[in-house]
Amino acid sequence: MRVLGRVGRILGWAAAYVLGLAALVLAGAWVWWQPEPLARGTEANALWARHQWVGEPHSDAEYQALGKLLAENRITDVFFHTGPFEADGTVPESKYRYARQLIAAMRKYAPGVRAQAYLGQIRMVDGKGVIDLDDPAVRAQVVRTDATLLDLGFDGIHYDFEPIYPDDRAFLALMDATRELTRAKGRLLSVALEQPTLLDAVQPVYKALIPRTGKIHYPPRPTEDFLRAVADRADQVAIMTYDVALPTRALAGWHFARHTRRTLELIGDRTTVFMGVPTYRPLAEWAEDLSVALRGVRRGIDDLERPPRRPYGVGVYADWTTNPSEWSRYRATWLPRATGSFGG
């Protein structure tokens, strides 16, 4: 009984230590979160847009309203969902039958805003998924599909293949081929990526210990080297910083701040960066929302020693989940106070 009592006391002290440590972390995060960020946002911002814009007819009034929304919120790039790719790398023309009308309307009502074809699919890994980018024939067909869409008038190609692991040479080969196409046509290549790794050194450990037979294996997070490799091939990189699932606003804000600073330090001199911010409602009611995300991004900009050499901003996910009050909050808390100002 004495042994059991001693074990119980040890466990009790251990639990108290863990709880105390958690309380200190929460308190420290709360204190860090209180000061108002100094940095304002930028005028280089993106928006992920629903498939209906290319797949369904719209009235002239709807196109005008879209143009007004983009102008009011200083959106420079819109990723119009145009795919997804079929397994062979094609996209049926029926999926984007109204793309020409959309592009014409964008040039009329949103001049200067780049309309990009947002394309992706579930990347085949260990026999699971849809599209096999390891197959050179599939990659070649993807690029031919891109060419067809650019010939329709899209200003760029925006890739969102998932999952992408930091040893995915096939994805980099696809980017090389796509960049050759987009540069030849004077268009853009942009890509959406998951948040960078928490610690690069842990990736090989995950890769060795987690079986590759399940739905996922080691985390599909770009390492520093992989992120730089992607940035060197892309005109724009959008980081999907959302899906935080942290319990307090301070911790969620710290997540956005940390990733903003780290990403801009790593690739902000190499390519345009959009930090993804969410307006959708998570399945679980976590602390993540647009206000927290924007404040966190601004705190991350505050922490930079100098601004990046290339443009940067946020990518709003997504047009179909953002209501008027959120757009108003975005303008009030993110956009520069004076036209033409940049960063802080």
pLDDT score, position 33: 80
Neighbours of 150 (CB within 10 A): 21
**Quick one: which of 161, 91, 177, 169 has its CA closest to 123?**
161
pLDDT in tens, 33-61: 878 899 999 999 999 999 999 999 999 99
DSSP structural state of residue 76: -
Say how far apart CA 286 and CA 329 lie, in whole Å: 19
Say how far apart CA 28 and CA 84 lie, in whole Å: 43
Say how far apart CA 9 and CA 12 lie, in whole Å: 5
pLDDT score, position 96: 98
Say how far apart CA 180 and CA 72 lie, in whole Å: 34
pLDDT score, position 216: 43
Strand partners, 188: 156
Helices marked H in the chain — which ranges? Answer: 2-33, 52-55, 60-72, 99-109, 136-152, 169-184, 202-209, 224-231, 249-267, 290-302, 324-333
Q: What's the token pair of residue 175?
A: 């980017």
Q: Are 62 and 105 in contact (CB under 8 A)?
A: no
Say how far apart CA 271 and CA 231 lie, in whole Å: 6
Q: Are 83 and 89 in contact (CB under 8 A)?
A: no
Residues in the chain: 344
Low-confidence ranges of the chain (pLDDT < 70): 1-32, 198-218, 282-286, 338-344
**Quick one: which of 85, 67, 56 has its CA closest to 319?**
67
Pairing of strands 188-194, 114-122: unpaired
Say how far apart CA 48 and CA 80 lie, in whole Å: 6
Say how far apart CA 58 and CA 135 lie, in whole Å: 38
Q: Are 158 and 190 in contact (CB under 8 A)?
A: yes
Q: Are 110 and 116 in contact (CB under 8 A)?
A: no
Q: Residue for token digits 């990046």? A: 308
pLDDT in tens, 189-214: 999 999 987 654 554 555 555 554 44
Q: Are 266 and 222 in contact (CB under 8 A)?
A: no
pLDDT score, position 247: 84
- What average pLDDT is seen over the chain? 87
Amino acid, single-letter form, for residue 13: W
